[in-house]
Amino acid sequence: MSYYKINDLENYFKMYKKSVREPRKFWDKIADENFSWYQRWDKVFEFDIEEAQFKWFTNAKVNIVKNCIDRHLNKRGDKTAIIFEPNNPEEEAQHITYNELYVKVAKMANVLKSQGIKKGDRVCIYLPMIPELAVAVLACARIGAIHSVVFAGFSSTALSSRINDSQCKMVITSDGGFRGNKTINLKGIVDEALKDCPSVEKVLVAKRTNENIAIKEGRDLWLQPLLDEALDNHVAEIMDAEDPLFILYTSGSTGKPKGMVHTTAGYMVYTAYTFKNVFNYEENDVYWCTADIGWITGHSYIVYGPLLNGATTVMFEGVPSYPDFSRFWQVIEKHKVTQFYTAPTAIRALAKESVDYVKGFPLSSLKVIGSVGEPINEEAWHWYNDHVGGKRCPLVDTWWQTETGGIMISPIPFVTPTKPTYASLPLPGIQPVLMDELRNEIEGNQVTGSLCIKFPWPSMARTIWGDHERYKQTYFSAYPGKYFTGDGALRDEVGYYRITGRVDDVIIVSGHNLGTAPIEDTINEHPAVAESAIVGFPHDVKGNALYGFVILKESGESRNQDNLRNEINNLIADKIGPISKLDKIQFVNGLPKTRSGKIMRRILRKIAEGEDGNFGDITTLLNPEIVEEIKNGKL
Ligand code: WTA
């Protein structure tokens, strides 16, 4: 019996029990049988939860890209590794075979080296969803440089703070990018960001939109001529199991974004294993995840997970609404996609449009459909299951996080019976627990609590770049001895998990995690603003939208309120990115505060949600009268 593939429910329970009883044996066998190593590990894992120190496959030597590409070349050299589907359907799709991918990555690796990048250096990648993005990621990993991909929708300020936090030596970008009918001038954003980034020595520029852009002598280089000149083979760097593979920034509830650090071997083993099982991947499948590689979903399940399994993975440059709302279904038909993995916000946006957009397509190639990024509501679940999955494809609602590296709780298709809105059961090796307010583990079923994981798993983030203390505090202090996810969950009568949402100050808008603090800090930078608080409120398409309560300084009170609202939103778009703009801004005279000065967001949340009375106990507030006043002014 292979440990790598779960065949039926009985087999799942057997595997699960084994993974809990004998985690060493379980992971040892999976790692041993399915990857190519330069040197084996001394220990499968070692950890000290108190200090938040974790090691997997200690002292093993490996290169993840050799596992993604080189070892497939004998058997699958001519097989398509990446299908690139451009933004404009009239532009031809590209099919990149494993042989071709090898050459592209080898050339890029040689370019990086010739431009002074060494093992351990940080390289920032700020690219649209074009093949160069996947190639750049793989080339970094091949030479042991640590990639830090920044989603190309972020502003120059967000980009520069990420570059500076990890002291990147190089930025890889493009002249621009296409998204629907928009063209985005990425190089301009990079130029702006780099005014403030002394660590960056070189900028490599891929060509995509062919617009005129500025090239700074001595710093900026067009990528293509360098690739043309570069040697087409490269010996992969030998990496230690625990060498950092990448940094990926995620919003925290407070302060600046956290640079989550993922390391090599554990991440490799876990993403490969989960890709195979959660998507029921088989040799000739064509797998498509619609995420951007700028997010963890793209790292783990567009690039690494699929390529580690020798799969064909689709990279889509565009958006679901361009040229019209049937684009997803057209692409599925065109490439005969077998697994389709997207986000609830996309499903909700499409479900709002005429069902004829999807009905015209049989989608008979599909085998499994998946969801990720936020809770999928019942209506969206059924729409997706009925109209896309045709009630015949299992819908895998996959719960996980940037920090977890890979999928943690999910049905296994054709194995776990699905239940609408439930991520269902933990994958082997994952031990979720629910905790009550007194920090006790809640036993039994039909209970709700804070979701923690009580045993380490291979792909967990190892630290926050440059700030291990923050890592320890954020994830391992709320519930001593356990990893705290920041999510709440309920466990039903058979032990299925349903994720109910964040229990901290992170708000998920269209699948993007937004921390309240950095947005409030930005609003407060506006010269007319004295103080602000933002909360989420339910939104049909985005899941949640942002509602801001803003106190103005005297100087602002005479100003036109709509102009102020626009200025505040422009400031946010500029400093953080357009995703973080507020849907509603209410100007108020005060915010409900506790005697210790803490804003009671619980109350603001209820007001934003349209609750009329029931605000719970407000007698502990410093200024209880403000609650009624804010409620009366609700937008
Ligand atoms: C939320 C994305 C409910 C959750 C992979 C988590 C989900 C956060 C689901 C992580 C799901 C993700 N059901 N909620 N299937 N998947 N979430 O870091 O709140 O971008 O903590 O990673 O998204 O978002 P992140």
Count CB neighbours of 460 within 10 A. 25
Contact 439, 479 (CB under 8 A): yes
Among positive and negative, which fits the CA dihedral 550, 551, 555, 560? positive
Substitution site in 251, 372, 453 for ligand 1 pocket (most atoms within 8 Å of beta carbon): 372
Q: What is the pLDDT of residues 22-59, one digit of tens each?
A: 999 999 999 999 999 999 999 999 999 999 999 999 99
Is residue 297 within 6 Å of ligand 1 at its C-beta?
yes
- Calculate how far, in angstroms, residue 364's C-alpha sits from the geometric centre of ligand 1: 29
Smallest CA separation from ligand 1 atom 5, residue? 401
What tokens were used for 244? 């950092």
Tell me the H-state helices in 115-209. 131-143, 156-165, 186-194
Atom 24 of ligand 1, residue of closest alpha carbon: 401
**Close Cβ partners of 625 (under 8 Å, ≥ 6 residues apart):** none
Ligand 1 centroid distance, CA of 453 (Å): 15
Per-residue model confidence (pLDDT) at position 254 = 65
Q: Which residue's alpha carbon is at the smallest distance from atom 25 of ligand 1?
A: 401
Residue 593 CA to residue 603 CA, distance in Å, equals 10
For a substitution probing ligand 1, which of 299, 399, 410 has the most ligand atoms within 8 Å of its CB? 399
State in Å, rounded, how far the first CA of the chain is from the last one: 61
Task: Report the alpha-carbon distance of residue 458 to residue 484 in Å, rounded.
Answer: 16
Determine the pLDDT at residue 596: 67
| Contact by Cβ (8 Å): 463, 314 | no
Q: Which of 313, 341, 344, 312 is nearest to 328 (CA)?
A: 341
Composition of the chain by helix, strand, coil, percent to 5: 35, 25, 40
Give every CB contact of residue 246 below 8 A, 6+ residues apart in sequence: 137, 140, 141, 146, 147, 148, 149, 261, 262, 299
- How many Cβ atoms are within 10 Å of 222's Cβ, its own excluded? 13
Q: What is the Å distance from ligand 1's center to 582 Cα?
A: 21
Strands 368-372 and 122-126: unpaired
Question: Which CATH superfamily, name and number, covers 510-633?
Answer: ANL, C-terminal domain (3.30.300.30)
Cβ of residue 513 lying under 6 Å from some atom of ligand 1: yes
Q: Are 62 and 268 in contact (CB under 8 A)?
A: yes
The minimum-distance atom of ligand 1 relative to the CA of 397 is 15
With the most atoms of ligand 1 within 8 angstroms of its CB, the residue from 300, 487, 512 to mutate is 487
Q: What is the pTM for the complete model shown?
A: 0.92
List Cβ neighbours of 328 (8 Å cut-off, separation of 6 or more).
Answer: 290, 320, 340, 342, 346, 350
pLDDT reported for residue 253:
64
What are the extents of the domains in the chain? 9-490, 510-633
Residue-by-residue DSSP string for 16-76: HHHHHH-HHHHHHHHHHHHS--SB--SEEEEEETTTTEEEEEET-EE-HHHHHTGGGHHHH
Both tokens assigned to 264? 């090599």
- Residue minimizing CA distance to atom 15 of ligand 1: 399
Q: Count Cα atoms within 13 angstroms, Cβ side, for 120.
A: 2
Give the Å distance between the CA of 25 and the centre of ligand 1.
29
Q: Is the CB of 423 under 6 A from ligand 1?
A: yes
Please name every residue paired with 371 in a beta bridge, in sequence order, or none if there are none.
342, 397
Q: Is 292 in the pocket of ligand 1 (CB under 6 A)?
A: no
Contacts made by residues 517-520, CB under 8 angstroms, sequence distance 24+: 517/252, 517/253, 517/254, 517/255, 518/251, 518/255, 518/256, 518/257, 518/576, 519/546, 519/572, 519/576, 519/580, 519/582
512 lines ligand 1 (CB under 6 A): no
pLDDT at 528: 94
| Bond prior to 23 in cis (omega within 30° of 0) | no
Amino acid at 209: T
Rounded (10°) CA dihedral 581, 587, 590, 592:
-50
Provide the residue type at 329 as one letter.
W
Q: Which one-letter amino acid corresponds to residue 210?
A: N
Pocket test of ligand 1: the residue of 342, 398, 503, 513 to mutate, having most ligand atoms within 8 Å of its CB, is: 513
Probe residue for ligand 1, chosen from 369, 422, 499, 507 as the CB with the greatest number of ligand atoms within 8 Å: 499
Nearest ligand 1 atom to alpha carbon 407: 5
Say how many Å lie between the CA of residue 24 and the centre of ligand 1: 28
- Does ligand 1 lie within 6 Å of residue 296's CB atom? yes
Do 265 and 62 touch, CB atoms closer than 8 A? yes
Q: What does DSSP assign to residue 593?
A: B
Residue 255 pLDDT: 67
- Reading the block at residue 341, the tokens are 């993995």
Cβ of 294 less than 6 Å from ligand 1? no
Classify the phi-psi angles of 373: left when phi > 0, otherwise alpha if psi is within -120 to 50, otherwise beta. Answer: left
> Is residue 202 classed exposed, middle or buried when 0-12, 13-18 and 19+ CB atoms within 10 A define those classes?
middle
- Give the tokens for residue 625: 């009268």
310 CA → ligand 1 middle, Å: 26
Distance 143 CA to ligand 1 centre (A): 31
- The per-residue pLDDT for 303 is 98
Cα 405 to ligand 1 centre (Å) = 11
Using CA atoms, how far apart are residues 145 and 108, in angstroms rounded to an integer? 12
Ligand 1 proximity of 372 Cβ (cutoff 6 Å): yes
Q: Which residue has the tokens 């998990």?
A: 497
CATH assignment, 9-490:
3.40.50.12780
Residues of the chain with confidence (pLDDT) below 70? 1, 253-255, 596
Q: Cα(372) to centroid of ligand 1, in Å?
A: 6
Beta strand pairing call for 122-126 and 146-149: parallel
Whole-angstrom CA distances from 197 to 113, 200, 399, 477, 573 are 21, 6, 36, 33, 20
